[in-house]
A = this chain, B = another copy of it.
Amino acid sequence: MGQLDVTMDKKKAGGPAPADLPRAIAASAKAVDATLEAVLPRPHGPQGRVQEAMRYATFAGGKRLRPFLVLHSARLFGVDDSHALRAGAAIEVLHTYSLVHDDLPCMDDDDLRRGRPTTHIAFDEMTAVLAGDALLTIAFEILADEKTHPDPAVRIALVARLAEASGHDGMIGGQVIDMIATQQFGADDIVNLQRLKTGQLFEFSCEAGPILGKASAEDCARLRAYAREMGVVFQITDDLLDVTSTAEKTGKAVGKDAEMGKATLVTLLGVDGARAEAQRRAQAAIAALGPYAARSPELSGLPLFLLDRES
């Protein structure tokens, strides 16, 4: 299938300047949404309610940042967009499951997400637990399908990496630590927590490209290092928004960190200190890309773009 309509920007402008990132992100999100539409089940039969909830949670107007990373890390290695978009859909449904379960009353107990009732509010708690379970399961089903890549060795490498990134020593481990996090946490504790809770899925997203492209271990390491630094930028800006933004702009409750007595790099370094740290990390992310920085304005532009985000 080659490269889809998300490449149109590139053809016109010879690679978007950083200013084109909103457009590149929107184009990628549109293509990912079409893939999600195709891979998620249409509600049918008596189990339709959980399938409806899977779709409700997934189609909530997100920026699809993780699939964007998959798509552009994949293009660096000549991967067909149709393959990258399926890997992107897998990471997006896995990310969605984590939000559905995080929002449950026994976890963060959130009623609002992206300006809409959370899944257990719109449906019920039981359906939210099962829809989350089903989204986690279908992530692996998407990766295992030969439409994601003709080579079974590539598909199983994606499965292994995603399971590791999202498991007990990855995202779930980070979630556990987050639940016991206190204001006594120092900068290293916080960076470790966030590297697990949100960073691991970013790392998978950026490594999916070189895995799909059968790139060298060195290139995998480059993209992983980029993701690691970029993940810190993302998290700091998320924490900054929690302090400086309004619920109207972010579509979710703000000021929750302070309310829950949670330490973040922002509470620890202050707004200016945290912003400076994010700036350093953004430069480190671009540097980590090495020769690929120039070849992907989307990846090299993203960290600075995140620094300026308002939602």
| Cβ contact of A144, chosen from B97, B156, B168, B175, cutoff 8 A | B156
B-facing mask of A43-59, CB < 8 A → 1, else 0?
00111011100100000
In the assembled complex, which residues on chain B have CB atoms less than 8 Å from the CB atom of A1? none
Interface stretch, picked from A127-135, A241-249, A275-283, A295-303, is A127-135
In the assembled complex, which residues on chain B have CB atoms less than 8 Å from the CB atom of A125? 106
The answer to whether B152 and A156 have CB atoms under 8 Å apart is yes
Chain B's closest residue to A151 (CB) is B152
Decide yes or no whether A5 CB sits under 8 A from chain B: no
Whether A144 contacts B163 in the complex (CB less than 8 A), given A137-B136, A168-B50, comes out as: yes
B-facing mask of A40-74, CB < 8 A → 1, else 0?
01000111011100100000000000000000000
Interface stretch, picked from A8-16, A176-184, A251-259, is A176-184
The answer to whether A172 and B46 have CB atoms under 8 Å apart is no
B-facing mask of A17-57, CB < 8 A → 1, else 0?
00000000000000000000000010001110111001000
The answer to whether A107 and B126 have CB atoms under 8 Å apart is yes
Integer count of this chain's copies in the complex: 2
| Cβ contact of A172, chosen from B104, B124, B133, B164, cutoff 8 A | B133
> How many Å lie between the Cα of A126 and that of B125 in the bound state?
13
> Which of A51, A140, A179, A196 has the most chain B CB atoms inside 10 A of its CB?
A140
A164 to chain B: closest CB distance in Å? Answer: 6
Chain B's closest residue to A108 (CB) is B126
Question: Could you list 23 A-B pairs, sorted by A, with CB under 8 Å?
Answer: A45-B173, A46-B177, A46-B180, A47-B174, A47-B196, A50-B176, A101-B130, A101-B133, A106-B129, A107-B126, A127-B176, A129-B129, A136-B136, A137-B172, A138-B163, A138-B168, A140-B159, A140-B163, A141-B163, A144-B159, A144-B163, A145-B160, A159-B159
Q: Write the residues of chain A forming the contact surface with B, with a CB cutoff of 8 angstroms.
A: 41, 45-47, 49-51, 54, 97, 101, 104, 106-107, 124-127, 129-130, 132-134, 136-138, 140-141, 143-145, 152-153, 155-156, 159-160, 163-164, 166-169, 172-177, 179-180, 196
